[in-house]
Structure 1
Amino acid sequence: MLDASDGTVGASPQAQSSPAADDVRVQLETLLASPDLDATARARRFLRYVVEETLAGRAERIKAYAIGTEVFERNADFDAQGDPVVRIEAGRLRRALERYYLSDGLSDPVVITIPKGGYVPHFAWRALPAEEADPVPVTVAPAPPADAPPPRRRTPWPVAIPMTVAVLALLGGLLLWRPWRDDASGIPPAPTHLAHGGPTLLVMPFEALGEPSAKTYADGLTEEILSQFARFKEITVLGRETARAIAPGTDIARIRRDLGVRYVLEGSVRTAAHRLRITGRLLDAQTGAVLWSQSYSEDSQARDLFTIQDDVARKVATAVAQPYGIIQRADQTRTGASPPDDLAAYGCTLRFYDYRAALTEESHAAIRACLERAVAAHPDYATAWAMLSVLYLDEDRFGFNARAEAGAPIQRSLEAARRAIRLDPENVRALQSLMMALFFARQPAEALEVGERAVVLNPNDTELLGEFGTCLGQAGAWQRGAELIEQALARNPGHSGYYSGVLAVYAYMRHDYERAETLIRQAALEKFPLYHFVAAVIYAQLGKASQAAEARDTFLRMRPTIFEHWDDEMAKRNYQPQDAAHFAEGARKAGFPVPARTAAETALEASASPH
């Protein structure tokens, strides 16, 4: 670390091998230019500021107030204690640097960190350079006069070798480049890694309108939206460099032709006094049609700007990219006319969400067969394996199209989920499928741990929130489970049947039978067997005998043998004894052939009796 008192590398033996100022600046520029540093434009300015101040010998000036006023453009009355903006951004920057050096920055020779407890950066070699076997203290030279020629920089071996390779690669690229092409457009070529025909999205830099500060807000919002979209693994989002290379006003048809994208997100940020007006819209690149548009009005005095930025970016990404969201519905419209046998691999994943919304045995068989063809053709398609895991699980938990000759469905579900995780450890759909399979394999603690990891990766995924909330509730955490399901319902009202059914169970467990009746009527999943069971027990508790009998008879026609192994059905769903006993009570009132004494009731009696 640089000693701010005299401008030399510190006096300790370790400090003698610290990078020189020029080495640090080379690394700083590498970081700031890297698309792999997951940091907003504001965070990058923060990093440049603290590094340059330290190199200039002014480390003692790097305080929250100075950063707030000089980097974040706060007024002179900025209260660093009351406004946590610097602490929040410093935490984000620390995490971004940690992730960078653990992944794409593994070969970088200089490591820049910001230790906790302050904002002064620390500089170190990743490995001690061979040329410093006999080290000599290095002085950070003062800045040269404006008219002086730039000093010649010493490039250490760890930097010189990759720089040489990069120069040779650049020269080779220039020899192959043909700038005289008639159709040269300045738009980078289309990416070649788009998997299995899924949707591709280009996020254009948001336009700044109004006051000069709008540019800062627009840059930060664009970066945060890109980060939010990256959490959804079922779409491919083109990187920020691709969008920045496109000239403003470029025709959308040309963007589609040159990049092959299906969708373009664009927007603007307008500032006036302390008011912000943020507008976003999603365009179909093929037709130019506006598929979605939304405006957000915010008061920067009422909420911190970073909170506004995060909240708006989350809302945009959730509306556009979530399961059952704008992109998925638009893609369903494009492929929906084809019969299942003719759907490509991506079409199978779209039909999976149709199945999840209706939960019918007929659609289960078709989608399972489609996904099995998809993974046979694309064995590296993690999302398809994850969805297939859920279909295998539903053979067990719902009794849909069970195939005894294929082996135990729960085991096939676990194997498919784990394969998806191996292919893509951060695929939320893969983590969701593993959570569900573990839960029904009677490993609820492990399942909920996986669910927590998945929610951290993508708290905007309503499909995940609904299923994780269901697992939490059945394991006894009904309050938190219901809160997550209500979040999913608020963000995705189009999938209300499934969510309303689980919330009806929650109301039933709380003995709020009137509320449970309202919710189960909203669910309206007539082709889903368990819907009729839940409806029957609710009606029975309300004393509505005719409705309970109708629902009971419908369920028994669909699943006549389930009561022969009632205890097993309750156990694999991990219901707490009191909840399973409550279900048994309502089932008897509805006229279901529940055993005279269930395992849950026996366990409750044993726990209540004195020892």
Structure 2
Amino acid sequence: MQSVRAKGPPSAAIPTIAETREQLDRIRSSREFHAPDRGRRFLDYIVEETLAERGAYLKAYTIALEVFGRDASFDAQNDPVVRIEAGRIRRALERYYLVAGQFDKVIITIPKGGYVPCFRHADTCPATDPEPSAEASDSPNPIVQPVIPSKSADPLPVNESAVQSAPASWTFYVTPVSLGLTALIAVFAVPSLFGSLSRPSNSPTDRPDFPQVLVEPFEDISEAGASAGIARGLTDEVIGRLAKFREIVVISNLPAASAGQPLSKDLQEPRFALQGRVRVEDSRLRLTARFVNRHDGSVIWANSYDKDLRIQDVLQVEADLAQDVATVLASPYGIIFQNDTAKISPSAPDDWGDYACAQSYYRYRVDLNPKGLDAARTCLQQATKHLPGNSTYWALLSMTYLDELRFQYSRDKAPALQSLKSALETARRAVDLDPQNARALQALMLANFFSGDVDAALSAGAAAYEINPNDTELAGEYGFRLALSGKWDTGCELMSRAINKNPSPKGYFEVGLAMCAYMRRDYRAAELWVRMADLRYNSIHHLVLLAILGAEGRVDEAREERAWLEANAPALMANIRNEIGTRLPRPEDQQRVLADLKAAGVAIASQ
């Protein structure tokens, strides 16, 4: 996080954390601050998250879960509760400073375009405060770096040409012209604030060889063109949903080539095309979609979807159909993955292209073979050298480092810790390159979780899920982290939905559902799930089974599992308390698992 202070005497520095909290109390206790209880909870939450330097992850989805009690199925596009409450609190703050807070020393505002509050002394010009002019929407917001209160009152001078002082005036915060000027000054005068948020370069050297998918305009085949509007709407919805997957390139139209002009040398003919036909009869809608190889015309996938327009309105139908199509095609284990992974040569990684490196990671995740992990990591290291500006390659590389630790492939503690450090560094780089890349935020979530920073992990996961809830790999991982963090109902529901939409990689999320059943003491279901998980290489999966057997008092079967772990994961068994603590942050969950492992005959050292 970047902290920005204005030039001048100590009184001009941004407020300290203590000053900001004191001002928040002053506002909340004022009779002129007109806000309901949930609005006050909203303000408290966004202020405290920003003070904790987690403001970059303040999204509608996160706020809806933490403040308004929504569940993991919350859809910001269909439920505007957060946007409405943010507007109400903005107006309440404006009224407070107009009526009761004219002479307050600290100003708290919520710039439009996001939910990250800004904190300033009244005698400081907020010229460095980026404030988009558009109202916050439920589409993914750009991550805006908040102004974080200093932990000391010492000023940090900045370039005088970038920030100019101005007379103190509370009216600056509520004058539209001034707000517009503020945004322009922030963008053009203080570019350093946005340096780490720049998108990857568009130069050919940073352009990946990801699959290109041409989305052809969906065809209306109803009589008299009755569904022409729906066909256009569906086309737009599908393009929007697919574009959130960073492992593919979505093309909405091709450059005109009919005049005999060849495509630019940097462009290639898309290999794939998505085609759709829409028909409406009475109140029934049918979408027929197919995914074809444009090189030979072969149909790779096709499906039909039926909807009753008496039950759902047209906009919801379009959104649901687009979600179904995008998920089945573009998820990491979806149709595109299956088509391309089968073509990866089994030769050495040196012979693979960069995109094959990405696919090799997902192929390794299908069976969790350590040899596949080594090959994928080596290849992704090369890909990040070839395309250093590509966020997705850095994100996948981060997860290869992390898997060394979380799946207990390394028996040496020192290399495992180094792998965790590398995972954090590469995940942060991925997010810096593209803050709207859900895969990068997924990598950061996992790296933070295994580093013990659970709050930061869940914040990153929520931000990623809000960007692309159609990504089943991401949804499953986020649900897994929620569950292990103690939010068992929400996390288990999200994992279950992710598996139902796309049941791959087989053998991974099943152990998560086994933990869900174990925590509700349904040991029969827990055992069924864990035996569906991958028990060939993964020692953690064996450990879950051992705890289940211990809970049921099945000592003889537990002895076999214990023998396997002692032979294949001695480092895990020697440090079992710490390993459980890494994966289950809540002490009560840790103690329950440790007690069942003891019942299974595992010797566990005292703390």
- With the shorter chain as reference, the TM-score category is 0.5 to 0.7
**Aligned counterpart in structure 1 of residue 559 of structure 2, from 549, 553, 556:** 549
Q: Does 1:519 align with 2:559?
A: no
- Residue 475 of structure 1 is matched in structure 2 by 485
Matching residue of 2:504: 494
Letter in 2 for 1:494: S
Q: 1:365 to 1:208 in 2, by over 3 A?
A: same
2:368 aligned residue (353, 359, 362): 359
Letter of the 2:299 partner, please give it: V
Question: Aligned-pair distance for 1:590?
Answer: 1.9
Does residue 215 of structure 1 match 2:228?
yes
CA deviation after TM superposition for structure 1 residue 283, in Å: 0.4
The corresponding residue for 2:190 is none
TM-aligned CA deviation for residue 587 of structure 1: 1.1
What one-letter code is carried by the residue in structure 2 that aligns with 1:282? F
Choose from 215, 224, 235 the match for 2:237: 224
Task: Specify the SS of the correspondent of 1:313.
Answer: helix
Pairing partner for 1:271 from 268, 272, 280: 280
Which residue number in structure 2 is paired with residue 586 of structure 1? Answer: 596
Gapped regions of structure 2 (runs ≥ 5): 1-76, 88-111, 114-131, 138-175, 182-202
1:287 offset after TM fit, Å?
Answer: 2.5
Once the two structures are superposed, what CA deviation does each residue of 1:303-340 show, in whole Å capped at 9, x if it has no partner? 11111000000000000011100001111112244443
Deviates more, 1:397-406 or 1:461-470: 397-406
What's the offset of the Cα at 1:241? 4.0
2:573 and 2:206 mapped to 1: Cα distance?
Answer: 48
Residues 1:206 and 2:215 aligned together: no
SS at match of 2:507: helix
Which digits, 9 at most, give the CA deviation of each residue in 1:206-235, with x for residues without a partner? 000113231100000000000001110110
Mapped partners of 1:363, 1:200: distance in 2? 26
1-structure distance, mates of 2:226, 2:378: 54
Q: Secondary structure in 1 aligned to 2:343?
A: helix
Percent of residue pairs identical: 35
The one of 309, 312, 318 equivalent to 2:318 is: 309
State whether structure 2 residue 593 is matched by structure 1 residue 558: no
**2:465 maps to what in 1?**
455
Q: How far apart are 1:506 and its partner, in Å?
A: 1.4
Cα distance change, pair 114–368 in 1 and its aligned pair in 2 (3 A): closer
Give the whole-Å Cα distance in 1 for the aligned partners of 2:383 and 2:78.
48
Question: Aligned pair in 2 of structure 1 residues 213, 420: CA closer, same or farther (>3 Å)?
Answer: same
Q: Which amino acid in the other structure matches residue 552 of structure 1? A: R
Partner of 1:163: none
Q: 1:381 to 1:551 in 2, by over 3 A?
A: same
Counterpart residue number, 2:16: none
Work out whether residues 364 and 400 of structure 1, in 8 Å CA contact, stay in contact via their aligned partners in 2: no
**Paired AA for residue 366 in structure 2:** A
> How many angstroms apart in 1 are the aligned matches of 2:555 and 2:136?
67
How many Å apart are 1:462 and its aligned residue?
A: 1.0
The structure that has the greater radius of gyration is 1
| 1:236 matched residue in structure 2 | 249
Q: Given residue 374 of structure 1, which amino acid in structure 2 is its aligned partner?
A: A
Q: Structure 1 residues 529 and 115, CA, compared in 2 at 3 Å: closer, same or farther?
A: closer
Write the distance in 1 (CA, Å) between the matches of 2:438 and 2:136: 31
Match of 1:528 among 525, 538, 546: 538
Query: What is the alpha-carbon distance in structure 1 between the residues aligned to residue 136 and residue 247 of structure 2?
Result: 36
What does the per-residue CA deviation read over 1:44-68, in whole Å, with 9 as the maximum and x for residues that have no partner?
xxxxxxxxxxxxxxxxxxxxxxxxx
Residue 289 in structure 1 maps to residue 298 in structure 2:
yes
2:403 corresponds, among 382, 389, 394, to 394
Give the equivalent residue in structure 2 for 1:5.
none
What is the CA–CA distance in structure 1 between the aligned matches of 2:79 and 2:547, rounded to whole Å? 52
Q: TM-score, normalised by structure 1?
A: 0.63
User: AA paired with 1:558?
Assistant: N
Gaps of 5+ in 1: 1-84, 100-110, 117-123, 130-190, 248-253, 600-611
Paired amino acid for 1:556: E
1:575 and 2:585 matched = yes
Higher relative contact order (CA 8 A, sep 6+): 2
Letter in 1 for 2:536: E
Offset of residue 271 of structure 1: 1.1
Describe the superposition over 1:45-97 as per-residue Cα deviations: whole angstroms up to 9, x where unpaired: xxxxxxxxxxxxxxxxxxxxxxxxxxxxxxxxxxxxxxxx9999xx99xx9xx
Deviation at 1:246, TM superposition (A): 8.5
Distance 1:426 1:346 in 2: 20
How far 1:574 sits from its partner (Å)?
3.9
Secondary structure, counterpart of 2:280 in structure 1: strand
Give the Cα separation in 2 of the matches to 1:452 and 1:574. 19
Q: For residues 580 and 376 of structure 1, do their structure 2 counterparts lie closer, same or farther at Cα, with a shift above 3 Å needed?
A: same
Task: Mark the CA change 1:112 to 1:348 in structure 2 (over 3 Å): closer, same or farther.
Answer: closer
Distance across 2 between alignment mates of 1:292 and 1:547: 44
Alignment-mate amino acid for residue 270 of structure 1: R
Residue 506 of structure 1: which of 494, 509, 516 is its match? 516
1:61-460 to 2 correspondences below 5 Å: 195-211=207-223, 212-238=225-251, 240-242=252-254, 259-401=268-410, 404=414, 408-460=418-470
Q: Is the contact made by 1:282 and 1:291 (CA closer than 8 Å) also made in structure 2?
A: yes
Q: Deviations over 1:266-323 (max 9, x none)?
A: 0110111211111111001223211111111111111111110000000000000111
The offset of 1:544, in angstroms, is 3.1
Q: Deviations over 1:327-380 (max 9, x none)?
A: 011111122444433212211110111222222322222222221122122222
1:389 Cα offset (Å): 1.0
Q: Which moved more, 1:378-387 or 1:334-343?
A: 334-343
TM-score normalised to structure 2 length: 0.64
**3-state SS of 1:202 partner:** strand
Give the distance between the partners of 1:350 and 1:86, measured in 2 at CA: 34
Partner of 1:77: none
2:570 partner SS: coil
Give how far 1:126 is off: 11
Alignment: residue pair count: 424
Q: Distance in 1 between matches of 2:436 and 2:310?
A: 37
SS at match of 2:395: helix
> 2: CA distance between counterparts of 1:265 and 1:580?
48
Check whether the contact 1:230–1:237 (CA below 8 A) recurs between aligned residues: yes
Q: Residues of 2 paired with 1:226 and 1:576: CA distance?
A: 41
Q: Counterpart amino acid of 1:462?
A: T
What is the CA–CA distance in structure 2 between the aligned matches of 1:194 and 1:438, rounded to whole Å?
Answer: 27
Q: Secondary structure at the match of 1:264?
A: strand
- The CA deviation at 1:194 is 8.2
For residues 480 and 422 of structure 1, do their structure 2 counterparts lie closer, same or farther at Cα, with a shift above 3 Å needed? Answer: same
Pair 391,193 (structure 1): closer, same or farther in 2 beyond 3 Å: closer
8 Å CA contact retained: 2:580, 2:590? yes
Query: Letter of the aligned partner of 1:233 in structure 2?
Result: R
Following the alignment from structure 1 to structure 2, what is the Cα–Cα distance between the partners of residues 381 and 115? 28
8 Å CA contact 1:530–1:555 kept in 2: the answer is: no
